[in-house]
Amino acid sequence: MVFDKVCYQLVDALLLQAASPLFSDITGAADVLMVSEASVLQTFIEAFAEAAESPYGCLLIGGRIVAATERWWGLTAGELTLLSTLLLSLSECSARDVPVYLPHGSPAIPHRLLTFELLRNVTACVICGPSPPLSDLEKEISRFWVPAVETLKSARKTVPRNVPASIEVDSNILGFILVNTLTHRCLNSVSLVREGGRGQGEEPARQEKRRAVLRSFYTMVIGSYFRPAAGEAGQDRGPGELRHEPTDTYIVCSGHKCYAHSSGKYQMFVLFAAKTPTFAMRSVTQKTLNLLVKDKNSPL
Amino acid sequence: MSGSENRARIGSSWHDSEPSLGLGSKPQDSASRTHLQNGLTRHSKASDGYILTENTYGQLRLAQRLSSSEDEEKIRSRDAIRQKSKEMQQKLQKQKSDYSSKKNTQSISLSQPQTSSATSLASASISNGGAKGKERRIKHIILNPEYRLLSGNETSGVEICQKLFGITVFEYSNGKSNHHPTHRDRKLVVQSVVEGSRAFCSGNISRGDMLIRINDVDVSWRNFSQLLKTLNKREKVRLTFQSPKIIGPKSSYTVLQVPEADLCLATLGKRLAHIQEELAHLNCVAMYLTLVQSSSESELDQMEDVVYAFPPGEETLTALRGLFITLSSALLDVVEQPAVRSHLHLNKSRIHVAYRQCGRDVLVFAMPGNRITPSCLEKVLNAFTSLLVLLFGDVQSAFQDCDRVWLDKIMALTFHRALELDTAHRKPDHIQWPSLTSMLTSDPWNIRLLALSSKDRLLCDEILNEFEAMDFDDFLDDVDLFARRKYVIRGTSLYYKGHLITSHLFEEHQRDVNLFLHSHELLSLSSRQEVNQVFVWHELKFNQDAVTSVPVGYRPCVTRNFLMVIGLHHYYLSVLVEAGSSPDQSQNLPARPLPLLVEQGRATLAQLETEEVHMSQCCEESLTSTNRDVVLTCPDQFCVHHSPRSRSGAKETTSNGKVMSPHNRPTLTSTKTSIDAQLLSRSRSKSADRLDDRDVSSHQDASIVIRRYGSKHSYGSNDSGGSGSSGPSKGRGSRISSATDLTSISHSLSVVNIDKGIAPGGRLTRGHDNYLFSYVHLDEGAGVLVAPTDLQLLEQHSYIQAQVLDNFALACHKIKNLLHCSVGNEAGKSVFLSQADEAETNALEAGTLFRCSFQSSQDKRQVSSLQYWVVGRTFSSPRPQLLFVCFHESTDQSMVETAFSLTFGT
């Protein structure tokens, strides 16, 4: 019964993926959050996972991974994105025990995915075997997480910017997707600039549009110029037909400009305002990429 | 009326009076006709469905009457016979020279030049006649012998020659007494070229040519067989021919009448059946399927849903037709969008299928996936349906009404081109990605513009204007004057060797004409050989909806439009003729062209080749010259070399500028150095310009120089546009000139670069003042395309450049698709930015930076790399245009911006 309901919600979420705030469905990489409190939260989640006798522990804010144990990151890209999608699709409840099959790790034997909502939109989860029952672990929550409440609250403020306020991104950038193709992590944002003043109500709609533009730009570039992050390059009409490796590509539309840059393991897709000069996009993109990658809190 | 009949009578009587010699009696049988000239075979219509045509089209005669086709055929076959026997019987020529000169018949003298006074008189009066015939032309032809055709028991050299090269040598006495000493001293004369053979495809060997050397060994009947037997099987054979001296005018030519003639044979050198046979092995089919029940009899006719299928023998895919028609029409019912394309796997091979729904019918093209890409297939189908719409009004009526034989031919040409059957050496299962040229020709609406000087273009414009005016009242009888009124010339355009010289047509009409010429393969024909025989007369159904907002009470008269194309030498003159401007005549118009128009058109083309004009020379120069306004540079110069050990150091050099290591110099050819020198001198002269404005700050300096160059250029080209003062060329001349303005791009690029180049030092002194690798300007609205010629690209040839160009072509494809998709139309919206606002999704520009790295041939540890941009931009006004530029990465983007906006004055 419960099992059925999980599926329904997941199917709904999959069908509505275009509207999801995450990009994991097209990038094939887990959405992450860049917070300045990353190292502190990392120790918290590791301690909690240890208490649950599980190597797999993860802390999510708004469906994006803030901190996770090493083994969690060791899951394959497919598993990571599937777990994120599942966690986002589940209805809100303080604690939950869901059986999951990991398609790569244990396709035959189900594991238990335990989730705990610490604050609103903040979820800690572990994957474990049969041993610690949900009730036991639920009692431990307050012991482990009460000291972290303030940190979590400040970290939660990073959403929806997804990048700490300390990092100043060029004001022309309306949104970006940054994918690490090796570790399968993806940092993205469509609300970098706080547009105070005129209609706060318009902001969600504008973000929605930016997200749509970025999504279609991403799929366009990945299909034709860059190789997909997930590595399933089965297309014969893909980038393979090009003799030389494309490193940058851009498109100028009447309403906006998009720029994509690929260097090594990083792929960066940036949405610019229409007023940005075309020639400036390359350097701005590269600077922003360096800024995000070199930062000490960088989750990538 | 009487003209041709008269001629026929004379011709026949002349022929009858001729004693038929035993020598050449065989070819006189008109049914056994392996008889050709200028690469064209003439056949009788009855046997093969295309016309045997050879008439004596005399420029001397003012108006030629085209009589009914039967009569004509009679004449033609007689003419052919007459000419054949004529050539066989040179002995009789002396006696007949009087007569033949009067008749303007071609007479070929093999050994003894004969100049009777009458003949020379005739040739003098014909412009394209004797002057050239005086010199004996030697031509070398290199052929690959077809050894697999040899059975091994050929005895005579004639037989071997025919099988190896497809050249039939004229056998005196049918080979029986060829040991006779008098015969052995004779020349080897080509009697015919076997159709479909390589010699035939080369189009260079004509009947009457003398074979004088094989592999540079003099050949005669004495050593002919011996020489052929000792040929090395692996090697190509070099045959040397001597063209005969032609006395009198070369006035006789065959008429390749489109649509009646056999296009396949003429343009591809293959018969229709031959092509169909080839296609039968290839899993491809074109079908027109219908869901409409045939009302007549409801017998168990299995194939009643197939209105048309090509190639006829196809069974596998035809059997699947139920699938195709269901898919296409069901999709329309369910999602209200027709199917566009699908794939299917048949015996492990992939097949692409494209659909076009027309009412309740569907047109399906299926082609094998290893020969064509899906998007190309879609384009092919698109072009084909557009052609049908152009010629028949709509697709449905095209398949119901039109001649199946014609459809077969067009289909054969379409498939032949799409599947690249002519490239025999292609690897299986490997799609050849398009080169720059093939990309340019892939879109049948577009045609390359020949870069002519404004003076020459003006001359062409004037000549065409004179023709368009139809102002030849003084020379006409009243009858002709009256006939002329039925027609109005809407515009003309002139082509040379597959390039557009100038156009006085409206843009959309120009596109249609281009499409017509492309799909009939006439353009490629004209670049291969002379097209004196081509004549087209076809009705075009233009979209009448274009006329909107008609005032109340005004009924626009229904007019019919005809396309007339006349070929002469390598020229085509395409004329759009409007008929029926007076209402009573519009219904029953003759399907035949007005002889007057044909003749005047031909005279117009002849004008281009007079002493003063010699336009073909200018065109050839333009085709072959590399010294253009837009100078391209070789990517080799921009390679940055670094060894992997010192990566960090290498990076520094990249940012600092170019490291010109000596290792890349050897890859440049020796011709390159001269070009360098040329570049150097160019840049010197420009640097002088620059120095004049030295006191201004450097940024302003750049823009000032650009402006001056740009304005100078546009001034010059406006001049050419405006000077086509009378008639329709006024607006259109300037249309072309906007395309020629492209030259200023390279100027601005190079000029600005000098300003920058001096500071880092070295660029100027080495002549690297140019960052431009390649460009393509596509004026889609007008169907005009400007790009560097192949020769110009070859001049800079190197391995890297070839790669860069290939990649440029591919990237252009991608960018073009992208820009097209996002401009408005429904289908494209799904590709890019489907959810975003439509108003904001018009893509204006797209670019990609490529990096290529490769190992230097001298030093394996050294890795060279090169980065370059490919940028495409659309211009929506005044017409949709696309400009693609390929340039080195170090070019300042703001400079490119300036160049873009400068070129088109936006």
pLDDT in tens, A43-89: 999 999 998 888 999 999 988 999 999 999 988 888 888 888 888 88
Interchain proximity A212–B867, CB inside 8 Å: no
Which one-letter DSSP state was computed for residue B268?
Answer: I
**Would you state the pLDDT for residue B422?**
62
Q: Is the pTM of this model over 0.80?
A: no
**Would you state the pLDDT for residue B18?**
37
Q: Which of A17-31, B253-267, B806-820 has the lowest mean pLDDT?
A: B253-267
**Would you state the pLDDT for residue A270?**
92
**Would you state the pLDDT for residue B862?**
66
Q: Which of B338-342, B375-379, B652-656 has the lowest mean pLDDT?
A: B652-656
- Does residue B751 carry a pLDDT above 50? no
Interchain proximity B806–A243, CB inside 8 Å: yes
The answer to whether B632 and B801 are in contact (CB under 8 A) is: no
- Does residue B823 carry a pLDDT above 50? no
Peptide bond into B145 cis (omega under 30): no
Give residue-wise pLDDT tens across range B481-501.
Answer: 666 566 778 888 888 887 888
- Does residue A144 carry a pLDDT above 70? yes
Task: Assess B90–A contact: CB distance below 8 Å, yes or no.
Answer: no
Interchain proximity B832–A216, CB inside 8 Å: yes
| A216, A225, A243: residue with CB nearest B834 | A216
**Would you state the pLDDT for residue A268?**
92
| Average pLDDT of the residues of chain A | 83
Question: With 0-12 CB in 10 A as exposed, 13-18 as middle and 19+ as buried, what is B819?
Answer: buried
Q: Which of B46-60, B130-144, B526-540 has the lowest mean pLDDT?
A: B46-60
What confidence category does residue B473 fall into, taking pLDDT thresholds of 50, 70 and 90? low
Contacts of A225 in chain B (CB under 8 A): 814, 848
What confidence category does residue B477 fall into, taking pLDDT thresholds of 50, 70 and 90? low
Contacts of B807 in chain A (CB under 8 A): 242-244
Interchain proximity B840–A224, CB inside 8 Å: no
The number of C-alpha atoms within 13 Å of B135 and in the hemisphere containing its C-beta is 5
Interchain proximity B851–A245, CB inside 8 Å: yes
**Would you state the pLDDT for residue B795?**
62
CA closest to B852 among chain A residues? A244
| B804, B833, B847: residue with CB nearest A216 | B833
The answer to whether B49 and B73 are in contact (CB under 8 A) is: no
- Does residue B29 carry a pLDDT above 50? no
- Does residue B383 carry a pLDDT above 80? yes
Give residue-wise pLDDT tens across range B440-469.
Answer: 556 777 777 777 777 888 888 888 888 888
CATH class of this structure's domain A2-156: alpha beta
The answer to whether A104 and A131 are in contact (CB under 8 A) is: no
What confidence category does residue B631 fall into, taking pLDDT thresholds of 50, 70 and 90? low
**Would you state the pLDDT for residue A260?**
92
**Would you state the pLDDT for residue A269?**
92
Contacts of A246 in chain B (CB under 8 A): 848-851
Where do runs of H (alpha helix) occur along B632-728?
A: 647-656, 670-692, 698-723
Most B-contacting residue of A243, A262, A263, A279 (CB-CB within 10 A), to test interface? A243
Task: Assess B894–A contact: CB distance below 8 Å, yes or no.
Answer: yes
Cβ-count burial B368-391 (b if 16+ within 10 Å, e if not):
bbbbbbbebbbbbbebbbbbbbbb
Contacts of A280 in chain B (CB under 8 A): 893
Question: With 0-12 CB in 10 A as exposed, 13-18 as middle and 19+ as buried, what is B803?
Answer: middle
- Does residue B387 carry a pLDDT above 80? yes
Question: With 0-12 CB in 10 A as exposed, 13-18 as middle and 19+ as buried, what is B631?
Answer: buried
Contacts of B852 in chain A (CB under 8 A): 243-245
Question: With 0-12 CB in 10 A as exposed, 13-18 as middle and 19+ as buried, what is B519?
Answer: buried
Give residue-wise pLDDT tens across range B181-191.
Answer: 556 666 777 77
Interchain proximity A243–B833, CB inside 8 Å: no
Most A-contacting residue of B830, B848, B865, B893 (CB-CB within 10 A), to test interface? B848
**Would you state the pLDDT for residue B567?**
83
What confidence category does residue B761 fall into, taking pLDDT thresholds of 50, 70 and 90? very low
Give residue-wise pLDDT tens across range B65-84.
Answer: 333 444 455 445 555 555 54
Nearest of B456, B438, B375 to residue B787 by alpha carbon: B438
- Does residue B753 carry a pLDDT above 80? no
User: Nearest 10 degrees: CA dihedral of A42, A44, A47, A50?
Assistant: -70
Cα Rg for chain A, rounded, in angstroms? 20
Peptide bond into B311 cis (omega under 30): yes
Q: Which of A125-134, B425-434, B649-658 has the lowest mean pLDDT?
A: B649-658
Across A15-24, A102-111, B21-30, the highest mean pLDDT is recorded for: A102-111
| Residue B582 CB coordination number (10 Å) | 11
User: Does residue B877 or residue B575 have the better pLDDT?
Assistant: B575
Nearest-CA distance A60 → chain B (Å)? 28
| A242, A248, A279: residue with CB nearest B810 | A242
Interchain proximity B832–A220, CB inside 8 Å: yes
| B843, B848, B853: residue with CB nearest A246 | B848
Task: Assess B843–A contact: CB distance below 8 Å, yes or no.
Answer: yes
Parts of chain A belonging to CATH 3.30.450.30: 2-156
Task: Assess B837–A contact: CB distance below 8 Å, yes or no.
Answer: yes
The answer to whether B529 and B541 are in contact (CB under 8 A) is: no
User: Does residue B621 or residue B343 have the better pLDDT?
Assistant: B343
**Would you state the pLDDT for residue B609?**
77
The answer to whether A52 and A137 are in contact (CB under 8 A) is: yes
Cβ-count burial A273-283 (b if 16+ within 10 Å, e if not):
eeebebebbbe
Sequence-distant (6+) residues with CB within 8 A of B443 are: B379
Interchain proximity A225–B892, CB inside 8 Å: no
Calpha distance B54→B72 (Å, rounded) = 10
What is this model's ipTM?
0.80
Contacts of A18 in chain B (CB under 8 A): 835
| Average pLDDT of the residues of chain B | 61
Nearest-CA distance B875 → chain A (Å)? 12
Calpha distance B685→B751 (Å, rounded) = 10
Calpha distance B252→B118 (Å, rounded) = 18
Task: Assess B149–A contact: CB distance below 8 Å, yes or no.
Answer: no
Most A-contacting residue of B814, B842, B865, B877 (CB-CB within 10 A), to test interface? B814
Interchain proximity A251–B896, CB inside 8 Å: no
User: Does residue B898 or residue A156 have the better pLDDT?
Assistant: A156
**Would you state the pLDDT for residue B625?**
63
Mean pLDDT value of segment B750-771: 37
The token pair at B542 is: 């233009």
CA closest to B893 among chain A residues? A279
Interchain proximity B850–A242, CB inside 8 Å: yes
| Tokens 């672990």 found at | A137
Long-range contacts of B299-307 (CB under 8 A, 24+ apart): B307/B361, B307/B399, B307/B400
Which one-letter DSSP state was computed for residue B420?
Answer: T
Which one-letter DSSP state was computed for residue B427?
Answer: P
**Would you state the pLDDT for residue A261?**
92
Mean pLDDT value of segment A217-239: 66
Mean pLDDT value of segment B177-182: 54
Strand bridging mode B256-258 / B534-540: parallel
Across B29-33, B288-292, B890-894, the highest mean pLDDT is recorded for: B288-292
Domains of chain B as residue ranges with CATH: 138-247 (2.30.42.10), 263-293+303-432 (3.30.450), 452-545+557-621 (3.30.450), 635-904 (no CATH)
Mean pLDDT value of segment B130-159: 65
| B840, B892, B893: residue with CB nearest A254 | B840
Interchain proximity A249–B839, CB inside 8 Å: no
Q: What is the largest CA-CA distance in chain A?
A: 60
Interchain proximity B840–A251, CB inside 8 Å: no
| Percent of residues, chain B, with pLDDT higher than 70 | 45
**Would you state the pLDDT for residue B482?**
63
Mean pLDDT value of segment B238-251: 58
Which one-letter DSSP state was computed for residue B664?
Answer: G
Alpha carbon of residue B567 to chain centroid: 13
What confidence category does residue B273 fall into, taking pLDDT thresholds of 50, 70 and 90? confident
A173-294: CATH number: 3.30.450
Interchain proximity A247–B844, CB inside 8 Å: no
Strand bridging mode B361-368 / B534-540: unpaired
User: Does residue B898 or residue B506 have the better pLDDT?
Assistant: B506
